[in-house]
Amino acid sequence: MYAQDPVQMPSQARPPYVRVAFSLSATPVMPIQISVRFPEASAAVRVGCVAVLVLLSVGWVIGAVRSWNRLRHIPGPTLARWSSAWMVRKLSSGRFHEHVCEAMEEYGPLVRIGPNELLCSDPEVLRRMSAARSLYTKGQFYETGRIIPGYDNIVTQRDEFKHKALRAQMSDAYRESSDSGFEGGMDRQILQLIALIDHKYISEPGLLRPMDLAAKAQFFTLDVISDVSFGAPFGFLTEDTDLFQYNEINASAIPIMNMLQAMPWLSNVVYRWPLRLALPSDGDKVGFGRLMGVAKSYVDERLALGSKPKRDMLQAFIDSGMAYNDLIQHMFVQIVAGSITTASAIRHTLLALISAPAVYSTLQSEIDLATPDSSPIITAAQAQTLPYLQAVIHEGLRMWPPTTGLGCKQVPRGGDVICGFPVPEGTQVGHNFSGMMRARGIWGEDAGVFRPERWLEMGKVEREELKGVVELDFGSGRYQCLGKRIALAELDKVIFELLRRYNFALVDPQNPIKSQSGVFWLGSDLWVRVTKR
C-alpha cells in the first residue's frame, strides 16, 4: 500500500487531491488493485481514508478465507475455492459438459466449483434433494430465470409453499393436455416439417439441396410448443426462416445467461433500474421480447369478451384460475423451456444416428415393421412399444443431456452429509448431469460411447432403474419438469417419422455441427443431404 503526492495541475483547473492506491493479493490468481482519489485535506483526514480502505481490504480477505475454510474439506479446483472465476471460465468455454465430466473424474462425485457451490453426480443424492419431503429448497441459481423483474414463475419461485400451490394449479393442465390434447398439434407440425423437406430439401443424383437439420429442429420445436400452447403455430416451418431473429438473439444472449448462472447474485443487479430497461419486453420487435409480445397477444385474445374456448394449454391454464400476469409468464416459460431443450435432444440424437450406420439401419428396420397403416403419424403410445426406438432416445439423452448442469439446490438448516462429506447449511449443490450420464461406475467402461444396444442387454429391473437416471434430465420429485411426457413423445414421434421417410447423410463428416455447451446446449450448421426412401 502506498500514497502518492497530489498530481501537479493548475489549481484553477480543479481542486487539489491526493491519490491512494493499494493492492490486494490474498489470492495469487486474482490480485486486485484499487486506486482512489480524495480531495486534499489534513493529514488526519488522509490517514482516516487510508484506514477505511485498509479495513475494507482486511474485511474482504477475512471473508474470502472464511468462505474457503467453510468447504475446504471438499475436493475441487484451487481457483474454485476462492472465487467464481472457475465457473465463469468453464461456462464461457463452450465445452462446459466436458469440464464437469473431467472434474468428476478427477475429484469424485462431489466437487467444489465455487466459494459456496458444489457439483454432484450421484443420482441417489439428486433424487433425495428433490424428494417430496426433502428439506432442500431451490438455490439462488433459479432467480436468474425471471422474465419480469419482481415476478416469479414456476421455475424461479423459491418459496416452497407458493411453488407447491402453483405446481398443483398447473399439473392438471399438463395432465389433461398430455392425455388428450397435445398430439394433434404435434402431428400437424410433423406433417408441416415433412412438407417443407419434400418441397425444398430433397436431393437427387447430381443435385444437392443441403438442409441445416439443427435449424429445422429448432423451428419444429418452436412451432410444436406454440401449437400445443395456443392452438396455432408461430410459423417458423411455414416461413422456413428465423422469425423475429429469435434463434440469432437467443444464441447471442447465451454468454450473458452463462455469466448469471455462475454468479446468480448478479441478477439482483440486472433486474434493478436502470439496467432492467435493457431486458426484453413485450414491445420489442425481435428476439425474446417479440415472443413475449406474441404470447401476451394470445392471452389477451383468449380473455376477450366473446372469445371461444379452445382445446390447448392456454385454455387449460385459464380454466385452472391462473391470474393474468401468471398466464403470460408461464406461456412464455413454456415456449422457451419446451423448445430449446427438445431441439437439442432431437439434433444430437439424429447426429448420433447418422454417424452410426449400424444403429441407423437397425432402427429403420424396426420402424419399417412397425409403421402404422391407418395413421399418417405414429401415436405416442405406439412409439412406446418399440424397444430399439426407446433405446435410441434414452441413449441420446444420456450422451447429450439438454441441460448440462447446475440447477442448484440449497442445503437445509443443520447441514447434510453428501457422498461422505459433511456439508454446511446454505451451501448450493448443483446437478452434474453430464458427469452422471458418462460415469463409468454407472454405465460401464464404454460410458462415452453411443451404443443403444446397452439398453437391450439389461434386465427389466436394471433398465427401468437406469431409465430413471437418464430421466433425471427432466428433474425429479417436486421439481420434475411438468412437460416431461410431452417432450418424450415429441422425440419419439419426430425421429420415427423422419427415419420412416428419409435417409440422411452428413454433407461435411469432418465438421458435422457447430455446437457449444454452457448451462444449455446450442447447435447450428448440421448440414445434411436428404433423400427419399
Q: Which residues are annotated as a binding site for heme?
A: 481
Largest CA distance in the chain: 94
75: preceding bond cis by omega (within 30 degrees): no
- List residues forming the annotated binding site: 481
| Cross-strand bridge partners of residue 506 | 528
Distance separating alpha carbons of residues 398 and 472, to the nearest angstrom: 10
Contact indicator for 327, 321 with CB cutoff of 8 Å: no
Dihedral of the alpha carbons of 233, 228, 496, 212, in degrees to the nearest 10: 30
Taking residue 382's Cβ as centre, other Cβ atoms within 10 Å add up to 17
Contact indicator for 36, 53 with CB cutoff of 8 Å: yes
The three grid cell numbers given for residue 495, joined into one nine-digit string: 425421429
What 3 state SS string does 204-237 have? ECCECCCEEHHHHHHHHHHHHHHHHHHCCCCCHH
Distance separating alpha carbons of residues 487 and 133, to the nearest angstrom: 27
Strand order in the sheet with 502-506: 211-212, 527-532, 502-506
Taking residue 289's Cβ as centre, other Cβ atoms within 10 Å add up to 18
Assign 40 to helix, strand or coil.
coil
User: Quick one: which of 111, 49, 147, 77 has its CA closest to 435?
Assistant: 111
Contact indicator for 425, 412 with CB cutoff of 8 Å: yes
Contact indicator for 137, 160 with CB cutoff of 8 Å: yes
If phi > 0 it is left, if psi is from -120 to 50 it is alpha, else beta; for residue 426 that is left
DSSP structure string for 134-154: ---EE-GGGGGG-SSTT---T
117-120 and 428-431 beta bridge pairing? parallel
CA-CA distances (angstroms) from residue 341 to 184, 270, 303?
21, 25, 30
